[in-house]
Chains A and B, each alone.
Chain A
Amino acid sequence: MKSKRKLLFRLIALLLIIGIAAWMFVIGRGHTIYFDNKPLEANGETYSSPYQIQVLVDGESVCKLKEGDRGMATTMGQDFEMILAITQEKDAKKQGVKVSLKLPYNMDGIIINLPALLGGASEDVYRSEFIQTVVEEDDEQAPTGSDEFEMPMGDE
């Protein structure tokens, strides 16, 4: 009886830990979002870019994008909220727009075309995956390097 109860407690603890790990997977998934203020043509429609878009995430200005600029921000989780302060033309008044997006779990880098997003385009038009280009490098020698505790006479 006692051993059964012990086993049950252990099983519950194990399940709890697995549950926490799974929860961390969901809430902790990081994404890098790239904001493009570039004109876009898709499905026969043209989305022209405004003079300037300022992107604010969590109340902090992440980037100010003139036409043709790209900015980026890092976010955690799949729900992303930002405020876009749009200046349509030079010296014009800023207009604030609150945008909420659902980010796909499997994408590390996500490009969002802001003019298309603001123009009401569909998700597959304004959103695309950022794929990092692989740069050929020389093989680095792995087991070296240091931290503050490294001994000057280390391996000798």
Chain B
Amino acid sequence: MISFISNSKKFLLNYTRSLKAVFIALAIIFSIELSISHLLKNHDIPQKIYKENLLKLTPLKNDPYPEYTIAYKNSVFLHEEPDLLIVGDSSGLNGAKPLTIERYLSEKKVINAACCANANFDGYLAVATHFFQNSKNIKYLLLYITPYGLPSGVQKKFGNDFGEELLGVYAKPWHYIYELPSVYFRKSILDKTYRYKAPQDAAGNYENMNYFIKQTTGSDENYIDFIKKSRGWIPRIRDNKFQEMLRGECGPQLTENLYDEKSGKPTLIKTLTKFKNLTDKYNAKLVIIFNPVVCKLSPQVYPVIAELDKFKEKNPDVIIPFGLIHTYNEEYFGNQNHLNPEGAEKYSIEIGEKLSEVGL
């Protein structure tokens, strides 16, 4: 150890010399980035970068809906400075209407940044971290998930590749690499190289979503314009999976998602604790809301409720206003995990009222 340290000066000098080309290249990169940042000082570099750095922009292919939605929301709502931020799965995307919730909260701004279950809980966490890093105003983080989308269930169904990718791009210490000013030109360089324009911001890419919007609002407004106005909410109308909804008593389909496939242990508390740690770090409060379900509370789901109670006991300041099971009539659903626009309106009113009761 001593010889290592005593000799290291000489060796370090040699090593530094051998990496001369690397250091000069780094200096040039630094200068290029600084110059771009200076030249584009009147442009909103982060907003464009946040939109494009997540996208795959692979040749001749539109980015998938989740990537596109998350990238777009993270960019367009960057300067909105919300008081309440909603993250979570697609039950949140379709279930929480910021404009409705806001009506019950005095002069508080709500943004719905929820998207899709394949982002997994790490993905929800990454999105939340991104907003916390860029907005000083967030006082409440609302994690909105379906009771059918507990951590182990999501892990089993979707894996965590996308979640890790989101963490890498938005939350890990190295995410700054993706935010270098030159990334501003990424899409245009790729478009030119591939001689193919990725249809960014173009209507018609996500026909389902545009169809839902048309059915709900009667307008031809495209997905992106709608999302801007609704502050992140998207309607979901009844689809062909509606018939497959689980009715009667809530049971094993929900409880089985509590346990990790490998270890057999429950993972809910561990996962929720990550969100609690994040809100603690930014002096915010955590709110957890589960999407309503058609099934009714039954003893079969008590193990999940017991886990939630344990978490609440450890973290009394976390707000879980409706508990795990909140039963709605099936007429309010698009399908099992998604409320339809009427259901979303009804639930958002309830959320607004509850949050205002607890002092938001």
Please say whether chains A and B are actual partners in one complex: no
Chain B interface residues toward A at CB < 8 A: none
